[in-house]
Structure 1
Amino acid sequence: MSHHEHEHDHGHFDAAATTWDDDPAKIERAHSTAALLRETLALDGTERVIEIGGGTGQLSLALAADVAEVLVTDASPGMVEVARANIERAGLADRLTAQRLDLVTDPMPEGRFDGAWAMLALHHVREVDRLLEAVKGLLHPGGWLAIVDLDDDRAGAFHADHTDFTGHDGFDRDAFAERLRRAGFDDVTVSDAGSVEKELGGDDQGRGTFSTFLAVARA
């Protein structure tokens, strides 16, 4: 993707960052995803985790007590600032860190991780395969990856209000599982992750409901 498009997408998120958490549905979504991951992953509290496209950090904040530490990453500097403030406010700076990082283009962080999670982040990434390969390289052998994302949404309604959106309108579950295998992951399972609600573009369009999946795989 051109540098220009990339910056553009950041611009959307940088501008939205300060009011992102004002939508209670987003906080609720983070909590329901946290509950699902808690149920699915056998977390024992020793894990070092990386969050991909973590935005304001709400998912990792909700799971902070279940793991040892989390590096929350996002390509948008605005989101990372808000995540840092949220982490400080929650008194979790000893186990959560936020860092501006684009896993497709930036050098990788130090060390290896026991797991990685992402919530509604990968459909914003144009080069998903490169991202998955990068994440595979960051995980200890046997480490897990848990991704919650949108089912295939051919109408593109989820991002109708985001005019310069360059990502994917959700993913076909089988094709996504195949992508994980191609990136070197094993034991891939894909299951239902409930649905998310989102304001649709203009004020008059109300909210739409979009189904999501959870993909879990081992490095």
Structure 2
Amino acid sequence: MTEAEWQACEEPMEMLEALELEVHLRAKARIMRSWRLVRWFTPKAPLLDDRRPFFTPRQLYLLACAVNRVFWKARNGDTLPSSLALEERFADGEITLAELLADDPERQWHWPNPPHLISNVFRRGRWPPAFEGIGRVYCDLTRDIFGNPFRAAPFSRAWFTPTVLALAAQMYESRDFGAMPILADALQEAGCDNADVLDHCRGLGPHVRGCWVVDLVLGKE
């Protein structure tokens, strides 16, 4: 997958496969470097920038939570089960896997394996006929959490003023990301001139827990 394809993709499983390929290629690059053969055998792909972390289990769990929220809202309106908040608490390490499974033992088939979990929620969300176009929504959520894996956005700690930190923390805790354009203004006033960061904050979204800009501000991985 190219950068342009990532930005325009409307098939969430293709994005998941691209992320999994990134892990595979980076692992191969590390092995080949240890053999001092990387210059000849490592694929020359943008996804091989080892200076940038690839996805973490937390990001995959939060993507699953975001997809589940969309799925439940589409089926049942604004009445959401309390289990969704519990899953987010697990993603952020506030409860253990045992506590999550105690709430619903059926989670044992998916939640211990984040890539398998994401594959399951992506495919499940395409079943109802009324979900026409839901793939595009899931791809937007994926881009919100993982950003652009083809190009790292440089960040400076000097941008993290008390206002920036307070805005990011408030949105994360409340799950209300309506202040993202205000966060962009605060970052810009602090010296941020990175178009990827500012455009993401001022874009249409959606923005959810795990949003890559908010995570960078709050130091979450």
TM class, shorter-length: under 0.3
Of Structure 1 and Structure 2, which has the larger fraction of its residues in strand?
Answer: 1
- Scaled by the length of structure 2, the TM-score of the pair is 0.23
Between 1 and 2, higher relative CO (CA 8 Å, sep ≥ 6) is seen in 2
Larger-Rg structure = 2
